[in-house]
Amino acid sequence: MAWSSYAHLPNNEDEYRQILSNLEDGMSIKKVDEIIAIQKKKEKVQHHYRSNLIKIGFFKVKNNIIKLNYDSDELKRDKNYLRTILRNVLKGNKEKEIQIVSEIIVYLHSYELKPTIDELITKYPLIEYNNFIRWLRPLISLMKFADILSLKRSDKCFQYARYLQEAYFKIAKSFIEAIPLEIEEIELKKIDPSLDLVTVLDNVLNNYSAKFKIELLMIPNWATKNRSYKINQDVYTHIKIKNDLLKEEEK
């Protein structure tokens, strides 16, 4: 993964606003670089500044010409439109680094740099701590400008976690009680017939915060007649929810 791809993003909201509002569909990448250089107070900038904006998803490039993924005229008229732009590009971004950092921020319920980097270092110990700081400071700032934490309760993963926990407590009397996945699926279908147990679990387990609150178990055939399910390449028959999936961890 290219963690260094985010080191040259703008440093503050005003810089984003000034750069993005001056870009236009059909503009050459040479002109884009000139606009960025003006805001950076440099004579010229390397292509990394432009490619970082492309990596986030603000515009695409074909034949050295850009196509915007937002309305720059609207941004000129309405300065509050910037947050909408930032949220939209982050929401549509499928880069793994973006997903990981976003999940950690939601897990920590904080935009603070050091705790986020501390979490990343446990997963990627071969990357220098100071490099992570330098590379990801602008990305974490971007997520703060977009205020991604305020969007958590409307995202699909949160909704799946809510359904999963609601179905669980139709059967379980408390947390840490093992219940059959087969019965969990029946209760999910009562909430919404379109819900698929494996899809729901895949989404919830991919969330950095919620995955540590769930334990999947495989009870041997001689001890249970319940159906088994293949989830993340392993087979399980039962589930425990160990803590509230919908509650942010207190730090």
8 and 98 inside one domain? yes
Can you give the pLDDT at residue 184? 97
Percent of the chain beyond pLDDT 70? Answer: 96
Domain count, the chain: 2
Provide mean pLDDT across the span 38-54. Answer: 94
Tens-digit pLDDT profile for residues 86-113: 999 998 998 999 999 998 888 787 899 9
Predicted pLDDT of residue 243: 92
The gap between the terminal CA atoms of the chain, to the nearest Å, is 29
Compute the mean pLDDT over every residue in the chain, rounded to the nearest whole number. 91
* Owner of token pair 């179905």: 167
Which of 219, 223, 224, 212 has its CA nearest to residue 236?
219
pLDDT for 1 beyond 90: no
**164-192: pLDDT as tens digits:** 999 999 999 999 999 999 999 999 999 99
Please give the average per-residue pLDDT across 27-39, as a whole number.
Answer: 96
What is the percent of the chain where pLDDT is above 90? 76
* 18 shares its domain with 133: yes
Global pTM value: 0.64
If asked whether residues 61 and 166 sit together in one domain, one would say no
* Token pair belonging to 243: 């803590």
Q: Which domain covers residue 97, as residue numbers?
A: 3-152
167 and 120 in a common domain: no
Contact 8, 138 (CB under 8 A): yes
Q: What is the rounded average pLDDT of the residues 135-144?
A: 96
Lowest mean pLDDT across 13-17, 31-35, 147-151, 223-227: 147-151
Sequence length of the chain is: 251
Q: How confident is the model at residue 208 (pLDDT cuts 50, 70, 90)?
A: low
Last residue of a domain, one of 132, 152, 172: 152
Domain boundary (122, 152, 182) is at 152
Q: What is the pLDDT of residue 251?
A: 38
Asked if the model's pLDDT at residue 203 lies above 60, the reply is yes
What CATH number did the domain enclosing 199 receive? 1.10.10
Local confidence band at 154 (pLDDT 50, 70, 90 cut-offs)? low
Q: Name the residue among 2, 1, 3 with its Cα closest to residue 132.
A: 3
DSSP 87-136: HHHHHH---HHHHHHHHHHHHHT---HHHHHHHHHHH-TTS-HHHHHHHH
Which of 119, 152, 185 terminates a domain? The answer is 152
